[in-house]
Structure 1
Amino acid sequence: MPYMKVVVDTMKERGIRDKYIILVGGAPLNEEFGEAVGADAYCRDAAVASEMAKSMVTARRTRTAEPPGPSVN
C-alpha cells in the first residue's frame, strides 16, 4: 500500500495518468486513502470495483464520443 501514491505520481510525471482509471479498495483501505493517493475511486470489494469500472469506462467513452463544440474562428 505505501507505493500506491508513488505509482500514481509516476504516471503523472510520465504524462500518462489520464489514460487510465485507477481504483483502490478492499478492507484495509477507505475513501480518504483513495483520495490521498490520487485514485479515481474507492471500492469496498471486487464486486463493487467491477461495476464501478464498467460505469467509469462507459462514462469516459461517452465523453470522448461527443462531437466537438462549435469552432471559433
Structure 2
Amino acid sequence: MPYMKVVIDTMKEKGIRDDYVVLVGGAPLNEEFGKAVGADAYCRDAAVAVETAKDFMKRKHNVRN
C-alpha cells in the first residue's frame, strides 16, 4: 500500500498518468485513501473493479449503453 502514491506520482512525472485508469481497493483501503493517492476510483472488491473499469472504458471511448 505505501507505494501506490509513489507509482501514481511516477506516472505523472513520466507524463503517462492520463494514459491509464488507476483503480485501488480491497479491504484495507477506502475511498478517501483512493483520492489521497490520486487514483481514478476506489473499488471495494474485484467484482466492483471490473464494472468500474468497464465504465471508465465506455466513457473513454464514448460508448453508450
Which TM-score band (shorter chain)? over 0.9
CA apart distance, 1:28: 0.2
State the 4+ residue runs in structure 1 displaced beyond 4 angstroms. Answer: none
Residue 57 of structure 1, CA deviation: 0.6
The residue that corresponds to 1:41 in the other structure is 41
1:57-68 alignment to 2 at 5 Å? 57-62=57-62
Look up the match of 1:28. Answer: 28
> Root-mean-square deviation (CA), in Å?
1.1
Gaps of 5+ in 2: none
Structure with max Cα Rg: 1
Match of 1:70 in 2: none
| TM-score (normalised: structure 2) | 0.94
* Residue ranges of structure 1 left out of the alignment (5+ in a row): 64-73
Cα displacement string for residues 3-48 of structure 1 (whole angstroms, at most 9, x for unaligned residues): 0000000000000000000000000000000000000000000000
- Residue equivalent to 2:10: 10
What amino acid is aligned across from residue 60 of structure 1 in structure 2?
K
- 1:61 offset after TM fit, Å? 0.8
- Calculate percent identity across the aligned residue pairs: 73
